Amino acid sequence: MHCGAENGQGNMTIPNTSVTIEELLDRIPLAVQYVDEDGFLRYLNKAAAARPANVKREVGINIRNCHAKPESLEMIECIFEDFRQGRKEPHYYVSSAIRKTIMVPIFDAEGNFIGVLSCIHPLGLPEPDRTF
């Protein structure tokens, strides 16, 4: 299934618009990032880039360098190994920094694990003014 068209600059656009997928993800007020199967950060939206961090967060860094606490690094390694073993369901966890993280495994067309899409949601965000 194809979700959009390339705009000639290597960016996918939303069908019938000039809005790119990257622009769409940048409008989400949650940190969204993609880490490849080897643990290297390959994408982060504006909210993820603006989040405070102990180390410089930029595309290309190894996320193992971002997890100072051994138990945090061990948890990340276990989650990645779980996905490498074929787990298709996301991992959900709440960190001590009062954030909820959802880690979704990404697989290619042949079923090979190729990375993790994560969304970091601060707990206690205000409820919307209304629901539909």
Can you give the pTM of this predicted structure?
0.79
Is the residue at 93 inside a domain? yes
The secondary structure of 19-42 as a DSSP string is -BHHHHHHTSSSEEEEEETTSBEE
Would you place residue 2 in the very low, low, confident or very high pLDDT band (cuts 50, 70, 90)?
very low
Tokens of 4: 């959009």
pLDDT in tens, 44-68: 999 888 877 666 778 999 988 877 7
Q: Would residue 104 count as lying in a domain? A: yes
Is 132 inside a domain boundary?
Answer: no
pLDDT of residue 15: 81
Average predicted confidence (pLDDT) for the chain: 82
**Does residue 24 lie in a domain region?**
no
On whether residue 18 sits in a domain, the answer given is no
14 domain residue, yes or no:
no
* Whole-number Å distance between alpha carbons of 24 and 12: 11
Tally the domains of the chain: 1
Note the pLDDT tens digit of each residue in 65-80. Answer: 877 778 888 988 999 9
**Residue 83 belongs to some domain of the structure:** yes
* Statement: residue 3 has pLDDT above 50: no
Looking up residue 72, the CATH number of its domain turns out to be 3.30.450.20
Q: Specify if 89 maps to a domain.
A: yes
Q: Which domain holds residue 82?
A: 31-122
